[in-house]
Structure 1
Amino acid sequence: MPDIGKMTAPMTFPFYQAAVTVAKDDKEKVSKPHIDPLMGTEGHGMAFMASLRSWLMAYACIYYLPEAAGLQAYPAFGPAKTFQLNWMAHIVVRDVLGCWIICGIWDYFLYFGPLKDKLHKYKVNPNYPSMEQLKHDAFWSTSASITGAGIEILLCYLWANGKIPMQVTLAENPLWLNVVLALTITHYRIPHFYLMHRAMHPWKTKTIPDFGKILYKQVHSLHHKSYNPTAFSGTSMHPVESTLYYSAAFIPVVFGLHPIIAVAIIVDCGVGAWMGHDGFQWPGNGDYFHLLHHAHFDCNYGAMHVPLDWLFGTFAGSKEEVKKIWE
């Protein structure tokens, strides 16, 4: 039976997780982590709620925060016809502050807060990362947030000048379609993530040059320096990788959708990565599927929302299964 409280946890983050931690029995034994190849009802339910959270945050970014910052409207609706520091700085500052507030609060809760000792047994890797890694990850996640802001700035300029089409109001779609688009953000951006991520690992082929091996060495290896990841590790990326990662925001552009979907994808890319890298089993948000990838590299390139790893034979549900993939 799915745990309804856990399914809705993304909408009550971090309060529900804190309440669960407080209520946990100190003597509770932690089960050995393992995952099945296909995501269950509870997992998809949490994904829907996480997507809705991203959509609501994007709604605030478009309809509330610009006015609070003294802008006439969201830049795509007029101000972005010319590159001006005021509206561009608003997006950059908003994204960087969001990164530091969300990652800072969650890493503090898990690693430094009053409940850290109670949470320790839920850490997948029992060792804690060094302060040097935390600083490294915070720096590169800040860089990635600026990259994400840059993609949004470019989109706003193109929308405002009619270079690419957009829906001006949400009412241009029927209500049911808006609901589907809001609940499945993570699901329809994951194939993009799988493709760009898989391309930056060795391709394991001799028929063509292994560009993946080059991309790994020159670009993606920076992300894997976070071998013992925390929330700040989520978008600790080389600028080339963060540009590719946040370029998922162009998916709705192909269909001329309302800017809220593109902004929600940027939000979801950030928050989803930060939460998924925290390194803890529940009541943390750590994604064991992806934590296995950080520990062993050659498995689990996508995410379980769309089972592309299972389809292409690169899925591992435990560390024992990783070595079997390339046998």
Structure 2
Amino acid sequence: MDDTQSGTRNKRGDWTPSATLEVAPFWQKPRHLRQILAWIPEYLWPWNAFHMSTALLYWFFVIPDVATMQTLSWGWALWLYAVNAAAIFVMYGSIELFWYVKRKQGNRFKYNAKFPGEQPSDVFWFKSQNIDNFLRTFGFSIPLWTLVQVGMLYAFANGYAPWLAWADHPIYLAVLVLLCPAIQEIHFFCIHRLIHVPIFYKWIHSVHHNSVNPSPWSSLSMHPVEGLLYHAVCLWHLVIPSNPVIALFQLHIAGFGAVNGHIGFDKLEITEKTALDGHAYAHYLHHKYFEVNYGGDGLIPLDKWFGSWHDGSKSGDAQMQARFEAKKARLNAKRA
């Protein structure tokens, strides 16, 4: 595929899409029904459909029966960790293998032309971003994912959370499914903005931001505190009347869906004529500039409402610089 038809490449070889980021069409003015209707399939397919499919597969083939989950034990907890780790290894590892190791499409559609393996640094364990990110993912984040998962299932199994049956509440639960990505964006924005407070950034979030040029293994490479807060999104379903399948869906949006913002490519070429949209640009800009796009890609435009939205344009750069200058002026005034 020719990536110059939909973007430009600078002297360093970094690629930038021509189209700027936009919030979901129902937030745009004037609203156009045709645009909203065209957006709905993109919202459902392929990523949210994939996360719901994995949640259903877990529920029917992986999750223990209710009687087992009523008692905490190492047996079923370790089983869930093994499945979570294997699933992430296959999913993230496949992207890493084909697009980063074998480089099946070179750096076409890649925002940063370089690959992490070409940039050793002392900020990483063994001076390797890949090794560092891999060890943090399987040593910290996936165990914490599993801890939250076990706690959520234990609560449902013992009646500590309102478990609604699909047969009794089909419309409400279907709507809740559609709202799960919005819950993810709101939760992520709130915790993400919190851990960008300087003291928390220094001791917690800087671990994740060491990966300025993110790759799949960067997705869940986090400090344990951040990993726990991040996966705790599914615990909202212990407060909201819900169903454990939907809570699993919510957890999978976080766990499996973390790769979207860290793929590093705007599109993954599946065949010579078919490409998968990574939805990675908004979060890539966050890794590049640090203080923009704390949330998602505009489903709930909290960044736009709070003034931290960057759409990838030159005007977005200007707004960001103006905000940085204003922040610097406030700090200087406070010191004076």
TM range (shorter): 0.7 to 0.9
Q: Is 1:248 aligned with 2:243?
A: no
- Equivalences for 1:190-229 in 2 at 5 Å? 190-201=185-196, 212-229=197-214
Q: How far apart, CA to CA, are the structure 2 residues paired with 1:128 and 1:44?
A: 34
TM-aligned CA distance change 1:56 to 1:247, over 3 Å: same
TM-aligned CA distance change 1:26 to 1:102, over 3 Å: same
Q: How far off is 1:100 after superposition?
A: 0.9
Segment of structure 1 superposing worse, 303-312 or 277-286? 277-286
Name the structure 2 match of 1:58: 55
Q: Is 1:164 aligned with 2:161?
A: yes
Q: How far off is 1:88 after superposition?
A: 1.1
Name the structure 1 match of 2:151: 154
Q: How far apart, CA to CA, are the structure 2 residues paired with 1:112 and 1:224?
A: 22
Q: How far off is 1:59 after superposition?
A: 1.2
Identity of aligned residues (%): 26
Aligned length: 282
- Equivalences for 1:20-39 in 2 at 5 Å? 24-25=1-2, 28=5, 30-31=7-8, 32-33=16-17, 34-39=19-24
Q: Which runs of 5+ in 1 are unaligned?
A: 1-23, 202-211
Q: How far off is 1:107 after superposition?
A: 1.4
Query: Partner letter of residue 61 of structure 1?
Result: Y
Q: Is 1:140 aligned with 2:140?
A: no
Segment of structure 1 superposing worse, 191-200 or 78-87? 78-87
Equivalent of residue 268 in structure 1, options 240, 247, 253: 253
Name the structure 1 match of 2:321: 323
Name the structure 2 match of 1:312: 306
Name the structure 1 match of 2:42: 46
Q: Is 1:107 aligned with 2:107?
A: no
- Asked whether the 8 Å contact 2:51–2:257 carries over to 1, the reply is no
TM-aligned CA distance change 1:129 to 1:65, over 3 Å: same
Q: How far off is 1:146 after superposition?
A: 1.4
Q: Which runs of 5+ in 2 are unaligned?
A: 9-15, 26-35, 119-127, 269-276, 327-336
Q: Is 1:128 aligned with 2:124?
A: no
Q: Is 1:293 aligned with 2:286?
A: yes
Q: Please list the CA deviations of residues 99-146 of structure 1 after superposition, one character each: whole Å capped at 9, or x if unmatched.
A: 1111000111211236232xx131101111127101111112222111
Q: How far apart, CA to CA, are the structure 2 residues paired with 1:156 and 1:26?
A: 45
Segment of structure 1 superposing worse, 46-55 or 102-111? 46-55
Name the structure 1 match of 2:71: 82
TM-aligned CA distance change 1:165 to 1:135, over 3 Å: same
Task: Give SS of 2:42's match.
Answer: helix
TM-aligned CA distance change 1:288 to 1:114, over 3 Å: closer
Query: Partner letter of residue 255 of structure 2?
Result: G
Task: Give SS of 1:279's match.
Answer: coil
Segment of structure 1 superposing worse, 309-318 or 34-43? 34-43
Q: How far apart, CA to CA, are the structure 2 residues paired with 1:191 and 1:199?
A: 12
Q: How far apart, CA to CA, are the structure 2 residues paired with 1:155 and 1:65?
A: 15
- Asked whether the 8 Å contact 2:70–2:154 carries over to 1, the reply is yes
Q: Please list the CA deviations of residues 275-294 of structure 1 after superposition, one character each: whole Å capped at 9, or x if unmatched.
A: 22111112351511111110
Q: How far apart, CA to CA, are the structure 1 residues paired with 2:59 and 2:160?
A: 20
Segment of structure 1 superposing worse, 28-37 or 215-224? 28-37
Return the TM-score normalized by structure 2.
0.78
- Asked whether the 8 Å contact 1:51–1:185 carries over to 2, the reply is no
Q: How far off is 1:182 after superposition?
A: 2.8
TM-aligned CA distance change 1:157 to 1:234, over 3 Å: same
Task: Give SS of 1:289's match.
Answer: helix
Name the structure 2 match of 1:179: 174
- Asked whether the 8 Å contact 1:48–1:184 carries over to 2, the reply is no
- Asked whether the 8 Å contact 2:186–2:300 carries over to 1, the reply is yes
Name the structure 2 match of 1:209: none
